Amino acid sequence: MADRTLDSYRQWATVPLNGTPDYSVVIPTCDDQLHIAPAVGAVASHLCTVDGTWELIVADGGSTDDTVKLVRQLDLANLRIVTVPDGERPGSPRGRAAALRAAVAAADGPLILTTPVDQAIPVEQFMLFVDRVRRGDEVVVGTRTGDDWRFDGDRPTTPPGRPASRLQRAVLGRTFLDPGCGFAVYTAAAARLLFPASRMGHDAMGLELLHLAHRHGLRVAEVPVAWTGAAAEAARSVGPSNLNVVRIRINTMLGRYRSAAERRPGERPATPAAGPEPATRSS
């Protein structure tokens, strides 16, 4: 079994896919030269055990270290790198979000997985999410709210990613358990609907995407995931700030999330400064 997986990996690494992949895996990066190779290895070794073909896209949000160089040096046949589109500032929250949007736009698979580069959420949970999609969910997001945690320090008293629930409920009309988790599976149709409409920086993008998914009436599932990390990391990933929650509400009120089909005849689209960045594809 192990040898078959290794053979499958070597085939994936050297022979370009012929046709559309079954899965597109997107790893967002920004100054992650220490994480990217192990992350690619973990994703590759797992995806090579599942049925179906797959591609890997690294969405680099403007690394100033050797992340991009390392990815290119890996020279893997089915790995592409997408960088920050022109007009966005590399490394900024908006630039990182724009790179992720561009990567999703470039993805060819009918299912799109996003996974954090640090692999704090083991990718082996991917197929559980795929099963949820097969049962009808269109957006399946991980939540670090279950019992399967591991920390190298004191366990934080506040669950990681737990948002400011009362504010969210008051402002957005609903709460989400862990919008900053980053481990999610989207149907391609859902991703094509949500990502181009998003306009927040990467730090609030998860909440925004969930908000948009509910606005569009998509079937959304929040699934607890096993994860590992440091208490300090958990403290940093407490979800979007209150200001960003309010910004999402303002964007909603101003009609910035409405698609062209929803706008009244003659109504102008959202202002260019706040509009979604153009998606570009690079390799």
Partner 1 sequence: MNITISPDTGRPGTEVALAGRFDGHEAPAFRAAVDRLLADARHDLRVDLSAVEFVDSAALAELVRGMKHCRQAGGDLRLASPSTPVRVILELTRLDLAFAID
Contact residues: partner 1, CB under 8 A: 2, 5-6, 9, 34-35, 37-38, 40-42, 44-46, 48-49, 74, 118-119, 122, 124, 150-152, 228, 230
Q: Judged by CB, which is closer to partner 1: 75, or 262?
A: 75
- Number of Cβ atoms within 10 Å of the Cβ of 53: 16
Q: Within a 13 Å sphere around the CA of 245, how many CA atoms are in the beta-carbon half?
A: 21
Strand-pair partners of 59: 28, 82
Q: Which is nearer to partner 1, 53 or 280 (CB)?
A: 53
Least distance to partner 1, CB of residue 83, Å: 21
CB of 80 to partner 1, least distance (A): 16
Q: What is the dihedral of CA 253, 257, 263, 267, to 10 degrees?
A: 70
Q: Nearer to partner 1 by C-beta: 9 or 257? A: 9
Q: Is the dihedral of CA 150, 146, 199, 70 positive or negative?
A: positive
The residue (of 118 and 203) whose beta carbon lies closer to partner 1 is: 118
Question: Between 52 and 275, whose beta carbon lies closer to partner 1?
Answer: 52
Least Å distance between CB 55 and partner 1? 16
State in angstroms the smallest separation of the CB of 185 from partner 1.
Answer: 20
Residue 260: CB atoms within 10 Å: 7
Minimum CB distance to partner 1, residue 154 (Å): 13
**215 phi/psi in degrees, rounded to 5:** -60, -35
Looking at residue 10, the DSSP 8-state letter turns out to be H
